[in-house]
Amino acid sequence: MEQFDGYKYIEGGVCAAKGFKANGLYCGIKKPSMPNDGNEGPINNMKNDLCLVTSDKMCNAASVFTQNKVKGAPVTVSQKNLKATGGKAQAFILNSKNANTCNADGEQKAYRMCELVAERMNIKPEEVLVAQTGVIGQIFPIEPVEDKIDELINGLDYDKNIEAATAIMTTDTVKKEVAVEFELDGRICHLGGMGKGSGMIHPNMATTLNVITTDCAITSAMLQKALSEIVKITYNCLSVDGDQSTNDTCAVMANGLAGNKEITSEGEDYKVFKQALYIVMMNITRMLAKDGEGATKLLECTVSGAKDLDTAITVAKSVICSPLFKCAMFGADANWGRILCAVGYADAEFDINDVDVVIASDAGSIHVCENGAGVEFSEEEAKKVLLEDEIKILVKIGSGKGTATAWGCDLTYDYVKINGDYRS
């Protein structure tokens, strides 16, 4: 992981910050398959599907959600809740296996999830956030949640972040957690998060489900400002397949237990906090890209020399989203024409004759295009560079100051396989 001065990576995910408990378990939202169905046995299907993150103290909260017109019921409920409380939350309940989207009784059931938690924590249902992921358009069974809610709450602890992080996995092959420690105002602060997402990932709000917790003291307004700024250059610069989910949710909860002076405006403290948020969200973004459905390679495209940030983002995303480029990377084929083509159809202002392209990895770097035209390079060297599992595409498009990175992954046989029969 890239190192940042003044920030130390630590364990603990959503439990890294003071006063946050978590738990996760299997409640049976989807019935286990029989062992002889030729796919997966009951053991695989009985992995965690329900989790809860709580704070010992009421939190200031901020969030971003999908921009899809089709919004999952939990998105609508969480939005309403945050509005009702003016940006407060003390718990966040999440499940996988069923997105509870496009169901007539969806909102009622998502709200019921909040009630089940609130009753037992002695808080208002509006102070609970909810997120759900999985198949769209199948009735969500609330009974398994009702049956297991006491066990879920009784088992909450300050070190059960992994139980929670594994409960939101769908086609994810690894759990995604990052946390950092940093100093603010003489106090040790912590900020950590967990994410899930593998397919149906695209700008904007390229994330599916994310929970971030911090013991830093910061107002809801400043928290929202920081989250919106950072999501733009991290999750929103991630694309696995160009599809934008109905249930994307990212919420940050800040309980203030670190004891720093509350951040109420922009300034040095805000900058330090925002950088911590960037480190955690950027690393989760990379993990999401690397674990993209069927992916064998992490692709990172950095565009520099753009006239502004938005131009850099647009061009970087265009490259990362190109299926032809993604296939070429899967094949370790230095077909740089595909990169230039994607740069060319980006809806952004620049002169194609200024474009330089370098392909790089731990095995070296290859200059493949200069001033918009090909330059000679060794195909053998290029192959060596492209056989690595993390590939960087460096695109210079002029002499401006705009720079941005977008993340993605290669397009493989397995992506097609996973999505050809997702519901089974």
Catalytic residues: 207
List, in sequence order, every residue forming a beta bridge with 258; answer none if it has no partner.
Answer: none
d(CA 172, CA 127): 29
Nearest approach in angstroms of CB 342 to a copy of itself is 7
Stretch that binds a copy of itself, among 62-70, 107-115, 160-168, 299-307 (CB under 8 A): 62-70
Question: Residue with structure tokens 């290859």?
Answer: 366
* Residues 98, 100, 104, 109, CA torsion sign: positive
Contact segment (CB under 8 A) with a copy of itself among 42-50, 108-116, 274-282, 315-323 equals 315-323
Are 205 and 88 in contact, with CB atoms under 8 Å apart?
no
**If binding is defined by CB under 8 A, does position 32 make contact with a copy of itself?**
no
Measured CA angle at 136 (ends 131, 140), to 5 deg: 65
Footprint (CB under 8 A) of a copy of itself, residues 93-132:
99, 101-104
**Per CB under 8 A, which of residues 121..180 are in contact with a copy of itself?**
135-138
Contacts 24+ apart (CB under 8 A), 380-383: 382/334, 383/332, 383/334
Measured from the CB atom, the residue of 24 and 199 that comes closer to a copy of itself is 199
What tokens appear for 367 in the block?
Answer: 């200059």
* Cβ pair 14, 191 in contact under 8 A: no
- Looking only at residues 352 through 391 of this chain, which bind a copy of itself when binding is defined by CB under 8 A? 352, 369, 372-374
199 part of the interface to a copy of itself, by CB under 8 A: yes
Residue showing tokens 């670190």: 258
218: DSSP letter: B
For a copy of itself, the closer CB: 184 or 206 = 206
| Interface region with a copy of itself, contact rule CB under 8 A, candidates 144-152, 186-194, 240-248, 387-395 | 240-248
Least distance from a copy of itself to the Cβ atom of residue 200, Å: 6
The answer to whether residues 407 and 300 touch, using CB atoms and an 8 Å cutoff, is: yes
Encoded one letter per residue, x for contact with a copy of itself by CB under 8 A and - for no contact, window 318-337 reads ---xxxx--xx-xx-x-xxx
Task: Using alpha carbons only, give the angle 205, 209, 213 rounded to the nearest 5 degrees.
Answer: 105
Site string for a copy of itself, 10-29 (x = CB under 8 A): --------------------
Residues at the contact surface with a copy of itself, assessed by CB under 8 A: 67-71, 99, 101-104, 135-138, 199-200, 241-246, 321-324, 327-328, 330-331, 333, 335-338, 340-346, 350, 352, 369, 372-374, 411-413, 415-424
